[in-house]
Amino acid sequence: MKKKYYCSPKRSILFVIGLLLVCGCTQESRTPLEELKMIGVTMKQHSHVEYSYRSKKYRSYTGDTVSRSGKVYFEANPNDTLLGMNFYHKSKHYDNFYNGNYIINMEPKDSIVFKKPLCDYEGGHMTVYPFLELSYGAIQLFLTDKMLDSQIDSLVRRDVKVGNKLCTYFSFWANQKFVSTHKKYDRYNMKIELVVNKADHLPVFYSQHLLISRKMNTDFVDNKVFFSDYSFDVKYPEEMFSIENVPDFYQWDKFKKYMKILPVGKVAPDWTLPEIGGDSISLSALKGKVVLLDFWFIGCGGCIQSIPVVNRLYENYKNKGFEVVGINCFSNKKNKIQEYVTTMGMKYRNVWKGESICDEYIIKAAPVFYLIDRQGKIVFSFIGLDSKKLEEAVGELMKDSALN
């Protein structure tokens, strides 16, 4: 006869308590790396998710903060080899969607739309979508990457409270290429901060801190994003990811609004702007001189490349009735502009608060050059840098001016 075993109520209670303690110890005994992996797996289990975001980007070299907000939707797409998901992003100024084949960017204000690959590398430049780099999708990708163990360093975990939510805070250093969705280069390491809700393992906060080494100093870029209003019940219809979703009246010209410029022969609009480290300058006060206007902004690659060319033109013709005025756009920190002008070695005069005349001069990109004759008329205008064309235009006008 088999011996029967009975469990007393007291023994049952002790058994349950012991089981709970074991489970609790198992959870607490996870290493920070194991917990990160578990969070990534949990996030990836959701086949589709919609949420709202608020982000802030601060650049030390401009002193400016750019804020964005919007709504993003991700859904799994096993056929896509780049992200493994589709996304739809909607903000105040833009709608973007990706369907595994291409990305569509729509600008409702100007009824402009263009189509391009998600990864578009030209001359070392890459497509940048802040809402994608700082997203649920990006976090999910790197937390479930097989290389996670070897790609992060100095991992720290601790419990925190965000509002009334119990959360877990993680910080670590990682390669820029690894934590971003489609970077080509891995030039820098980033400090990453991630805060997830303990109850559901969903991101509450995410940040990237990027140090940038310069010749004379080290700058940094801070990206921070806050997540809210998660929904796993919303499923976007398939047609929203189709090119047919674009309204018929939208203009399919990628650069149309950026390539507009004041025409040759037009009298250049007058302006008065404060000079960096000096008094105000007005264009009308420079009448009688040949004037080159150079519209630029801090961090613009083409603008940086143009500085030696513009310096050379200024040095060659400054004693022959030639004036150069650099007009800074899109920054309101005078000390940062002054620092940049000095660091970059701009030898010509520069003014700031240029954003106030951007509409009049149709400035949608940079650099933009306007060459103005002694009567105040535009004789050459160009978007971007073409050293040969710019030098030839200035040389011809200075020669004609000397003859007259």
| Domain residue spans of the chain | 30-252, 272-403
Position 126 scores a pLDDT of: 54
Answer yes or no: are the C-beta atoms of 257 and 112 closer than 8 Å.
yes
Sites in the chain below the pLDDT cut of 50: 1-26, 123-125
CA distance linking residue 297 with residue 234, whole number of Å: 41
pLDDT value, residue 328: 94
Are the CB atoms for 126 and 183 separated by under 8 Å? yes
Look up residue 187 and give its two tokens. 């030039």
What is the structure's pLDDT at 17? Answer: 43
Distance CA(206)–CA(209), nearest Å, equals 10
CB 372 within 8 A of CB 268: yes
Residue located via tokens 């050059």: 369
Angle between helix axes 387-403 and 301-317 (nearest 10 degrees) is 20
The answer to whether 122 and 116 are in contact (CB under 8 A) is no
Ramachandran quadrant class, 353 (left: phi over 0; alpha: psi -120 to 50; beta: rest): left
Question: Position 9: which residue type?
Answer: P
Please write the tens of the pLDDT for every residue from 72-96.
999 999 998 888 999 999 999 899 9
Cβ–Cβ < 8 Å for 101, 242: no
Identify the helix (H) or strand (E) that includes residue 96.
strand 95-98
User: What are 66's strand-pairing partners?
Assistant: 57
Q: Which CATH class is domain 30-252?
A: mainly beta
Amino acid of residue 151: Q
Quick check: 334 and 301 in contact, CB under 8 A? no
Cis peptide upstream of residue 367 (ω within 30 degrees of 0): yes
For residue 15, the SS3 value is helix
- DSSP structure string for 336-351: HHHHHHHHTT--SEEE
- The DSSP code for 179 is H
The CATH architecture assigned to 272-403 reads 3-Layer(aba) Sandwich (3.40)
- Name the nearest CA neighbour of 95 among 202, 261, 236, 259: 236
Angle (nearest 5°) at CA 85 between 143 and 82: 80
